[in-house]
Amino acid sequence: MTLARRISKIGLGTVKIGRNQGLRYDEGFELPDATAVRALLDQAAALGVTLLDTAPAYGNSETKIGEAIAGQRDRWVLATKVGEYFEDGRSHFDFSAETTEQSLANSLRRLQTDHLDLVLVHSTGEDTYVARETPVLDVLSRWRDRGDIGAIGMSTKTVADTIALLPDIDAVMVTLNPAHTAEIPVIEAAHAQGKLVLIKKALDSGALAGAEGADPVGDALRFSAGQPGVTSIVIGTLNPEHLAQAVRAVA
């Protein structure tokens, strides 16, 4: 089965599993313990969710996921990232070859796996510079070519620059929600080229939960799911019922 067909329409973003500082959320939250993480992932699996989106910048998210899915690797599509690190209360970016290699090795160890299904490059907003002037994509390409990574891509913030980069990557992660439609041209171009398209901030980091309407969350998710070419919508939640509602909304 191709990677695209293995990826569920709703993916679980896991930043809240491992990090509760420096995030754009209205309310604070406690980090879940191992039992709560395992329960959340069991619920995700029962709902048919296969995609877990994590990153070294998400605190100890990778470690918690690796422990929770031990013995269940084939059930999941593991997506992680390179380029960003969160230390001392702020993000640091490093796209050098040495750091990228070490980041990938660390992710394999933390996730307790011998391969990564998808690896994205974090966005600084300078997408062309990162892709063309740093070695990060070259490193990811080598790992993909030898079979240690299934697909490579970028989480981006630009439009024209991202479209120009599409031939060099397998996947893109872009922002899409009813309040932010500027990146639809990227989705359309990626769809035309057969690329994977992951959606971030489909709920505008939680802001759309309080929007007008009987079901603002469902409406926002259906809006993104209805865009041709969207592979998966990644939502970050610690609430199993909220996850179930999201899956039902796009079913």
- Residue 58 annotated among the catalytic residues of the structure: yes
Of the candidates 25, 58, 85, 129, the residue annotated as catalytic is: 58
**Residue 226, both tokens:** 């209805």
Query: Comparing C-alpha atoms, which of 44, 5, 77, 86 is closest to residue 235?
Result: 44
Q: Which residues contact 163 (CB under 8 A, 6 or more apart)?
A: 185, 186, 189
CA 179 to chain centre: 20
Q: Count the helices and strands in the chain (H runs, E runs).
A: 11, 10
Q: Which residues contact 188 (CB under 8 A, 6 or more apart)?
A: 228, 229
- The answer to whether 137 touches 165, Cβ cutoff 8 Å, is no
- The answer to whether 31 touches 23, Cβ cutoff 8 Å, is no
HSE-CB at 100 with a 13 A cutoff on CA atoms is 22
Greatest Cα-to-Cα distance within the chain, rounded to the nearest angstrom: 50
Residues marked active site are found at 58
